Amino acid sequence: MRNNVLVVTGLMTLALASAGCSKHEAGKVESAPAAVVKGATLETVKRVAMPELLDVVGTVRARTSAVVSTRIPGSINVLRVREGDRVKKGQLLIQLDARENQATAAVATAAIDEARRGLDEALSRKKLSDTTFDRYQNLFKEQAVSRQEFDVRQTEKDMASQGVARAEARLRQAQEGAKASGTMSDYTKIVAPISGIIASKQADLGATVFPGQPLLTIEDEGSYQLELALPESDAAKVKPGSSLQVTLDSVGSTFAAKIAEIVPTADPGSRTFTAKITLTQKGLKSGMFGRASINLGSTVDGITVPKKAVVEHGALASVWVVEKDGSARMRIVKVGRQTGERVEILSGLSDGDRVIVTGIEKVTEGAKVE
């Protein structure tokens, strides 16, 4: 009886399996034939010698700028400019309230008046002593006065001359002191050292300032330069006069240029040297971002494809590659710099790959390309 049960069970299992297979084969759907793309243009990838380029970034800065500061302490009671204002050389920018300096200037002026009066008195005494001496000299010749009286008058004359000299010295001292005080008083008026635009303002109305404290930064709008950061490891390969391709994205400008100057010392923080490129474009502002590709004068092997062969999907880039069987496959690639109408491919392609250049809009994954 047990054996019969096993046989029946086996038969049922076999029947179910056969029914399943029959059902699967009955519902089988044959795949559609691959699409065929005609008229596409292909290019075979080849490694070629390319100039070795160094990509660097930098910042646009004014060639001429001035940081305005004060030489004396005080508080700002007049502030006539703000960021973005254009000023001319000698224009009053800030007035300081420095009463101590003004009081010192007033004291110096009074000292000049006092010294002049002292000189006038000394001159009067000298005039009197000269007249008296002349009279006693005549009397002494006539032996009307004693030698002692004559010597006294002569001494008085000499002392009067010395008094005039001391009075003149005090007057000169007072005048020089007044000049110094006047100069210090003039320091309360801060004027523009150059013509340009107010790039930044570090102090506000009513603020107390101290000697050497930056108050304003003025930049000359007529001349700008791009300061590039050269890596310490590549700085020896770059010289003044080296050719480079500069791109300023903010003004949509790409142009060829040459390095005008390289600062001979490195920044200890970033370990970079600064290379300067003169700019003549319009609409530049300090702080704008710039980048450049510097030709190092040597060559490297690389792969390039036409720009129109690259399909961009956000941050990803891809190309259509035709396999040996003629089917199209999308391949993710990493792109490098663009030179003219060609783009460097850093990874994703190998020597001998066939890339679709035109007709990309008709291509689908797996399509046959004829």
Give residue 92's pLDDT. 93
What pLDDT score does 157 carry?
Answer: 86
Q: Are 296 and 238 in contact (CB under 8 A)?
A: yes
User: CA-to-CA distance for 295 and 323, rounded, in angstroms?
Assistant: 36
pLDDT number for residue 25: 44
Cα(336)–Cα(51) distance, integer angstroms: 13
- pLDDT, tens digit, for every residue of 92-124? 999 888 666 666 667 777 878 888 888 888 899
Residue 266 has pLDDT above 80, yes or no: yes
Picking from 156, 147, 149, 96, the residue whose alpha carbon sits closest to that of residue 125 is 156
**Secondary structure element (H or E) that encloses residue 155, with its range:** helix 147-186
Q: Measure the CA–CA gap between 275 and 277, rounded to whole angstroms.
A: 7
Count of residues in the chain: 370
Q: Does the pLDDT at position 276 exceed 90? A: yes
In the chain, DSSP finds a helix count (H) and a strand count (E) of: 3, 23
| pLDDT tens per residue, range 22-41 | 444 444 445 556 788 788 88
| Residue linked to tokens 């009397």 | 139
Q: What is the pLDDT of residues 221-248, one digit of tens each?
A: 888 999 999 999 888 888 898 888 899 9
Residue 318 pLDDT grade (very low, low, confident, very high; cuts 50, 70, 90) = very high
Buried b (16+ CB within 10 A) or exposed e, 178-196: beebeebbebbebebeebb
Convert the pLDDT of each residue in 168-184 to its tens digit: 888 888 777 777 666 66
CATH 2.40.420.20 corresponds to the domain 41-50+301-369: yes
Q: Whole-structure pTM over 0.85, yes or no?
A: no
CATH number of 53-63+221-298: 2.40.30.170
Residues 80/211, Cβ–Cβ less than 8 Å: no
d(CA 139, CA 321) in angstroms, rounded, equals 131
Q: Which fold has domain 74-96+187-220?
A: OB fold (Dihydrolipoamide Acetyltransferase, E2P) (2.40.50)
Confidence of residue 79 (pLDDT cuts 50, 70, 90): very high
Q: Looking at residue 201, what is its pLDDT? A: 92
Question: What share of the chain in percent tops pLDDT 70?
Answer: 87
